[in-house]
Structure formats: C-alpha cells, structure tokens
C-alpha cells in the first residue's frame, strides 16, 4: 500500500442504526446538541454514522437509494455530521453492502444462491433462499447493477458530507452458485460443484469489487479512508488489503468471537504496518441487542488491551429508532475512554516488540476463509497465557525479526518455504513444529527437526504422552492426548517424550470405563512424541489444535518446556497468572510495558442471539485487584528511570544482567510502566 492517510483516532464509536420500515417517526427525538455533548463528555473523538442500513434504507435525502419511509428528519445523517464536526469529532460514514433487504426483495435475481442454502439465521425454514426467515437475504456482488448501486452511494455520500472515511459492511464470501457466479466459474474453467473453486470465484468477485470501488473513490478523494468489513482479518490473501486504507478488527468477545480472537488478530494486523482499529461492542451479547449493557470494567479492560496491542479503540452502540442517544451507554464507557485519552502520549507511534512469530495455518494451510482455525487459536492462546509477546505471520513477514518461530500442527513446507526457513535456522533462529508441520507436501521432512517421518498417524486415538523429567508441571505418569500422533523416528534429535499406547481403541467390541482405554504399561512406545535439537523442537501431536479443543494446561506446559529450552532469555518475564496479558512496545527514547488482567467467566450457557444458535457466553462483571506482582524486561541499554504512566509516579526498580525489574504493589485492569532513557 503506497498511499498515506490521516491517522485514525483513538476513541471511537460505531453507531449501528438498522431500523425496520415497521417503525414510524424515526429520528423524531434526535437532538443534535445533546447528541454531540454526550459524545464529548464520554471522551469520544470519532463516531461512525449511518448512510444506509441492512434494511436497505437511507437516512439522508439520497438520489441513489430510498430513504427510510418513516424518517422524521430528512437529513438525520447530515445533522449528526454537522453537530460532531463543530466539536472536532470525526464522522466516518457507514454503508451496507451485501446485506440490503430492500435490494434483496426488489431484485431477487441479484441474491446469493448458497450452495448449501445456508442462512445467517439458523432456521428450519425450507423455503427457497430462506424467504420466510426473519434474517438478511444476501446480495451477490457478481451483478453489475448492484455494484454500481453501492459505488454510487459511496460517491454521493463522499461528495455531500466530505467524511474522513467510508465503512463498507458485509463484503464477504457466501459460497454463491447464482447464475451469474456459475457463468463466471464456467468461463474461468472452475467447477461450481467444487467447494475450492467456489471459494476461488468468491475471492475473485470480492477482489474486483474492492478494487473497482477503491480506485474510483480514491481518484476523486485521495485521502478518504476505506474499509471493507467481513467480521475477521483474513490471512489467506494478504494482497486483498491493498484496497484498504486501514484495518478494523471486528471482535465482540461476548458476541461469538471469544476473548482471544482480538489479541491474536491484532498480533497479525499491527505488524503489517496498517493503522488498525479494534472493535468491540457495548452489548452484553451481540450487535442489535437493544437494552443490553456491558459492565464498565469490561469495557475498560477491552479498550486497555486494544491500546496495549497497538490498535485504536472502538465501541459499538446502536441508536434507538427515536434518535435519542442513550446516556447510560455513554456513562459506562466514559472511564474506558478517559484511560485511553490519558494514555495517548505513550501509545502514539509505539512499535510492538515480540519474541515469537507464529506462522498462520489459516494462511499457509488449506483451511478456507473462515475465522482462525483451532491450531492458530491454540498457539496464540498459549502465548497469551504465558505472557510471551508474539506476532501471527504470513508469507510476507520477515522471519528474521523473531528469535523463535512456531509452526502449529499443519504448515506444509514446500521448497520455497524450506529455503526461507533453512536460511532462518542457519542464521541462528529457533523453531518449534508440531504434527504435520515441517513436512514436505511430497513426503518426508523438509527441515532438520531431528526426526524421520513414518508417513502416517497412529491408528490409536487417543494416545498418551510420557515425558518424565521434561517439566515439573507435567506429571511423570502418562497423560492422555486427545488426538493421534504422527509416527516418526528420532534421527539426530534428542527424545524428550514418547507416544504411549492405550490397550485399544474404544468400540462396541471392546471398551473400558466411561471414555477410553488407559495406557498399556507393557506396550512398547509408538514412537517419539517430543524431539529436540539445539535449534528445533518437534511435537508429534496436533498439540495446538488439541489445546484449543480440550484446554488441558499440560499440553501448554510441553510447548513451554521447548520454548524455555530454545529461548532461555525471554524479553518479558512476569508472575501474572495465566489469565493476565502483557505486551512490550517501543517509542523513541522509552520502552513501555503493559500488564492487564480481566478474567472473563462463563455466565450464560444458552444465549440465543438469532444468528449463531445457542451458545455459551463469557463475560466480565467485575475485575479483582491483583498484587503484589513482579515484571522483568530485557532492554538493550540501562534506562534512566521507570515510571508508572500516565500518572508519572516513579517506581522502584533494579537492573541486572540487562534486565529491568519492577515490583508493583498491585494491578487493577491495566498498568503501564515506561522505562525511559532520560
């Protein structure tokens, strides 16, 4: 991306306004002065406001699309923009794309025809395209008339209101086999019956749409920020982001994304050099929850985490159809944005410092375009819980920037990647691989991992880890691993653990107890389970996938034992509990340590948000104070002082062997410590 854009602001709101035509007097109670004053009092400096919503209605006098039939104020959008601009609050503008219910009903020939008749709303509705389901009926971007409609809206809004940016929502893949997509696939030699070919056609359609819209808008408005939202920062195709001005990580932890989705995606987006915006919501559950509220402490923690990971902050809200802003919502988010406002001098231009680079299976593997797979998630979760700063990497990343690389579970190593990783290891880098990672797609081991590959997995599942002496946290007796192991033999490596066999697989012919057979003490080992060389570690199980699925801490301890062996001098060491989070950033003249603790808890087990079906929900009601605690950071030079920021309070600290150590009296939600050169 060669263009430059004005930097994003730190304290943003995304103001949903998806308003049914069944509601009259829309916006009748909007008061521009109260609206803007409420934002100012809550420390908000940017708010995304609506041009057109998922129902397909415009909230300004558009010549492109229809205005909401019950709109009481002809230019509600303009009134919001004018009031905010008078108070130096930016107003990016929202435009829906593929969820446009008005267009879907006026132009049914433009609708997505999913290969599986899928719907965003789980339903037993058997009607064509789920016509009788109360949900959004997705529109396909293969249709020229629809693409022109979206672009014309963007041009009209940009010309009329001169916004700093446009947020195009729902620009994603929907496995479409509508007649236009089928023709496109047949013309390109793709098979509509092949899921991979359908995904390729979806990708080509989205790429051409984004390029077309961005080029047209930037030709007229060269500094206009543009973002296309798909609910996730996809890693399969980094080139797609050439048409973006910045990245926004939609990640409502209570809304189905979970609490580790945001940090792992921030650890991918920020190192790529994009100005990045974190996105959560004020809702207890998900977007569109009227009358739902998240606790003040949860919002405070989420925003502090965004700042600590180098992103700007955004909290999603939804305006009532009356147009009256909800004072309770903004009272709850005021403390979070007060913290961020005070912290901004220690956030601007800060660069994340990381020890570990995790090669993304979503990028290097063959796992489609969805949110992070379990192997990526499990690796990120382990690093977060161990407070090890890390980044998620794709093939464009500079591997040499990281002392240690992790290849989780399923990173096939072709000749080109083998050359890169070989040079990395020859240059002094260290590497951990698991299961099929490190193996050549053509067979055999592509890297020197101290093993030879047997070409198959154990027929027995589950299997057992036997690793006495590997780590004091790992029991000396056999530990069940809920996955088959790769069959390997040691070849130049040191065996640190073995794959122990159960008596048999469970079946109707023979079974034992409630779950599975125990390990058979008399059976020979099925092969090495953990192998190390001076530069590498290998684990035969899909250990990261297993950790995400099962959550057994012993799996994590096995990985951490290899990290301690290969990376004995970590950048950051702290006695935070596993629920704590930490990051280290660098600004000119100082290094800043961020320590956080939130502690989400499962509080609901049957949440139905009408989009994901029944699911559990983890939330934060209140956060205890931790302490005392200690943190130690490896620095290139001895600092002049350590200061708690933004308060400016000097801290007692020690310097030994290139490490600055602080002992803190406590931590509540977030603590930042600046090690300053002068």
Would you place residue 367 in the very low, low, confident or very high pLDDT band (cuts 50, 70, 90)?
low
Q: Given a cut of 80, is residue 121 above it in pLDDT?
A: no
Task: Name the residue among 159, 107, 157, 168 with its Cα closest to residue 137.
Answer: 107
* Whole-number pLDDT of residue 366: 61
Q: Given a cut of 90, is residue 3 above it in pLDDT?
A: no
Q: Given a cut of 90, is residue 608 above it in pLDDT?
A: no
56-89 pLDDT, tens digit each:
999 999 999 999 999 999 999 999 999 999 999 9
Contact 76, 30 (CB under 8 A): yes
Instruction: List the end-to-end C-alpha distance of the chain, in Å, as a whole number.
Output: 36
Helix (H/G/I), strand (E/B), else coil: 609? coil
Mean pLDDT of all residues in the chain?
95
Asked if omega into 26 is within 30° of 0 (cis), the reply is no
547-590 pLDDT, tens digit each:
999 999 999 999 999 999 999 999 999 999 999 999 999 999 99
* Percent of the chain with pLDDT strictly greater than 90: 92
What six digits make up the tokens of 401? 């920037």
Query: Exposed/middle/buried for 273, CB within 10 Å: 0-12, 13-18, 19+?
Result: exposed
Cβ atoms < 10 Å from Cβ of 55: 19
Q: Given a cut of 50, is residue 369 above it in pLDDT?
A: no
- E-strand ranges in 543-652 read 572-574, 580-587, 590-597, 601-608, 614-619, 629-634, 641-645, 649-650
Contact 485, 526 (CB under 8 A): yes
- Report how far residue 426's alpha carbon sits from residue 424's, in angstroms, rounded to the nearest whole number: 5
Contact 15, 35 (CB under 8 A): no
Would you place residue 371 in the very low, low, confident or very high pLDDT band (cuts 50, 70, 90)?
low
- What sign does the dihedral 117-122-124-127 (CA atoms) show? negative
- Report how far residue 399's alpha carbon sits from residue 405's, in angstroms, rounded to the nearest whole number: 8
* Whole-number pLDDT of residue 612: 75
Would you place residue 404 in the very low, low, confident or very high pLDDT band (cuts 50, 70, 90)?
very high
Task: Name the residue among 295, 312, 402 with its Cα closest to residue 348.
Answer: 312
Cβ atoms < 10 Å from Cβ of 360: 28
- Report how far residue 298's alpha carbon sits from residue 623's, in angstroms, rounded to the nearest whole number: 8
Q: Given a cut of 70, is residue 670 above it in pLDDT?
A: yes
421-456 pLDDT, tens digit each:
999 999 999 999 999 999 999 999 999 999 999 999
Q: Given a cut of 80, is residue 610 above it in pLDDT?
A: no
What domains are defined for the chain?
11-120+133-351 (3.20.20.80), 356-570 (3.40.50.880), 573-676 (2.60.40.1180)
Please tell me which residue, 17 or 125, carries the higher pLDDT value: 17
Q: Given a cut of 90, is residue 472 above it in pLDDT?
A: yes
- Report how far residue 599's alpha carbon sits from residue 614's, in angstroms, rounded to the nearest whole number: 23
Contact 439, 445 (CB under 8 A): yes
């Amino acid at each position: 991306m060669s263009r430059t854009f004005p930097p994003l602001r730190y304290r943003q709101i995304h103001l949903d306004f998806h308003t049914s035509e069944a509601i009259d007097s829309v916006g009748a109670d909007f008061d521009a002065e109260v609206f803007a004053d409420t934002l100012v009092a809550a420390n908000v400096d940017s708010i995304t406001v609506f041009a057109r919503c998922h129902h397909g209605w415009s909230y300004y006098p558009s010549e492109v699309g229809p205005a909401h039939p019950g709109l009481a104020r002809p230019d509600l959008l303009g009134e919001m923009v004018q009031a905010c601009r008078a108070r130096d609050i930016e107003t990016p503008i929202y435009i829906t794309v593929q969820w446009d219910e008005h267009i879907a009903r006026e132009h049914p020939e433009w609708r997505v025809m999913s290969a599986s008749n899928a719907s965003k709303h789980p339903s037993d509705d058997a009607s064509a395209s789920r016509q009788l389901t109360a949900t959004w009926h997705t529109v396909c971007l293969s249709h020229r008339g629809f693409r022109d409609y979206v672009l014309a809206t963007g041009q009209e809004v940009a010309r009329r209101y001169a916004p700093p940016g446009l947020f195009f929502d729902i620009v994603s893949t929907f496995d479409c086999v509508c007649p236009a997509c089928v023709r496109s696939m047949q013309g390109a030699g793709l098979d509509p019956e092949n899921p991979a070919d359908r995904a390729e056609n979806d990708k080509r359609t989205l790429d051409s749409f984004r390029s077309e819209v961005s080029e047209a808008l930037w030709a007229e408005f060269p500094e206009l920020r543009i973002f296309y939202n798909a609910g996730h920062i996809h890693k399969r195709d980094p080139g797609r982001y050439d048409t973006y001005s910045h990245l926004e990580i939609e990640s409502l932890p209570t809304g189905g994304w979970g609490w580790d989705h945001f940090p792992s995606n921030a650890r991918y987006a920020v190192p790529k050099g994009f100005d990045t915006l974190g996105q959560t919501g004020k809702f207890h559950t998900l977007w569109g929850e009227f009358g739902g509220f998240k606790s003040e402490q949860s919002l405070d923690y989420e925003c502090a985490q965004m700042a600590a990971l180098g992103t700007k902050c955004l909290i999603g809200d939804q305006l009532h159809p009356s147009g009256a802003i909800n004072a309770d919502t903004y009272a709850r988010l005021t403390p979070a944005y007060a913290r961020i406002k005070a912290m901004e001098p220690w956030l601007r231009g800060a660069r994340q410092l990381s020890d570990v680079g995790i090669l993304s299976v979503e990028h290097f593997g063959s796992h489609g375009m969805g949110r992070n797979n379990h192997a990526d998630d499990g690796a990120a979760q382990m690093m977060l819980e161990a407070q090890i700063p890390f980044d998620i990497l794709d093939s464009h990343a500079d591997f040499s920037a990281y002392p240690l690389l992790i290849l989780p579970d399923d990173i096939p190593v072709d000749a080109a990647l083998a050359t890169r990783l070989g040079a990395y290891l020859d240059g002094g880098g260290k590497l951990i691989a698991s299961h099929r990672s490190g193996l050549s797609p053509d067979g055999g081991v592509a890297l020197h991992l101290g093993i030879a590959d047997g070409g198959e997995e154990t027929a027995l599942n589950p299997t057992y880890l036997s690793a006495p002496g590997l780590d004091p946290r790992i029991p000396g007796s056999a530990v069940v691993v809920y996955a088959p192991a790769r069959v390997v033999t040691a070849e130049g490596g040191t065996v640190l653990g073995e794959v122990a066999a159960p008596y048999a697989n469970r079946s109707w012919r023979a079974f034992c107890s409630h779950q599975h057979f125990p390990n058979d003490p008399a059976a020979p080992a099925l092969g090495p389970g953990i192998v190390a060389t001076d530069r590498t570690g290998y684990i035969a199980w899909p250990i990261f996938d297993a950790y995400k699925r099962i959550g057994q801490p012993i799996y994590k301890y096995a990985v951490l034992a290899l990290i301690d062996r290969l990376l004995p001098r970590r950048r950051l060491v702290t006695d935070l509990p596993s629920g704590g989070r930490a990051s280290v950033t660098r600004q000119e003249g100082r290094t800043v340590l961020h320590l956080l603790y939130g502690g989400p808890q499962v509080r609901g087990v049957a949440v139905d948000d009408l989009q994901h079906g029944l699911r559990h929900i983890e939330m934060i009601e209140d956060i205890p104070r931790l302490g005392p605690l200690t943190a130690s950071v490896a620095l290139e030079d001895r600092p002049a002082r350590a200061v708690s920021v933004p308060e400016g309070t000097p801290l007692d600290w020690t310097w030994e062997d290139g490490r600055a150590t602080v002992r803190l009296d406590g931590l509540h939600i977030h603590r930042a410590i600046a090690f300053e050169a002068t």
